[in-house]
Amino acid sequence: MSAREALELAVERDLDLVKISPTATPPVCKLMDYGKYKFEQTKREKEARKNQHVVEIKEVRMSPGIDVNDFNVKLRNAQKFLTEGNRVKVTVRFRGREMAHTDIGRGLLIKFAEQCSEEASLDKDPKLDGRHMSIFLSPKAGKDAKK
């Protein structure tokens, strides 16, 4: 139908004439209550945002000479972060002559990843970046993250 007829029909039914595809020949239009449509669309977007969980990257720092109890505390914290659904960056900082023994730090990171293997998967192998060696652990997909 012509644009004038469609507009008259929209006014008669107290609705809006909305162009769906203005570039098509002939243009495609629809009769709808545009205010109600916009309201429902924003309501849907708000609901989607509410159900969304933002994954943060939490960091756990250690040194190569860490003691067993300190290691276990760091491990528990990392496991808590993983069960909450966050990624964890585990970093070993080398100071002074510790740079000569990066293999100790690598072993520490691999041990840490093995201890977290139930909750997480290792993203990349330990990587030395300046004086820091780090790994990233991601929560396993099968586990549902808590809010």
pLDDT for 25 equals: 83
4 falls in which pLDDT band (50, 70, 90)? confident
Which domains occur in the chain, in start order?
A: 3-49 (3.10.20.80), 57-139 (3.30.110.10)
pLDDT for 89 equals: 93
What does the pLDDT average to over 39-55?
85
| CA 32 – CA 18 distance, rounded (Å) | 7
Mean pLDDT of the chain: 87
pLDDT digits (tens, 9 = 90+) for 7-18: 888 899 888 888
pLDDT for 109 equals: 92
pLDDT for 145 equals: 47
| CA 109 – CA 136 distance, rounded (Å) | 10
What is the C-alpha R_g of the chain? 28
Per the listing, tokens 């629809």 go with 30
Strands (E), 1-147: 16-21, 28-32, 57-62, 87-93, 120-122, 127-129, 132-139
pLDDT for 142 equals: 58
pLDDT digits (tens, 9 = 90+) for 74-125: 999 999 998 888 899 999 999 999 989 899 999 999 999 998 888 888 888 8
42 falls in which pLDDT band (50, 70, 90)? very high
Closest residue by Cα to residue 132 from 73, 31, 61? 61
pLDDT for 147 equals: 45
68 falls in which pLDDT band (50, 70, 90)? very high
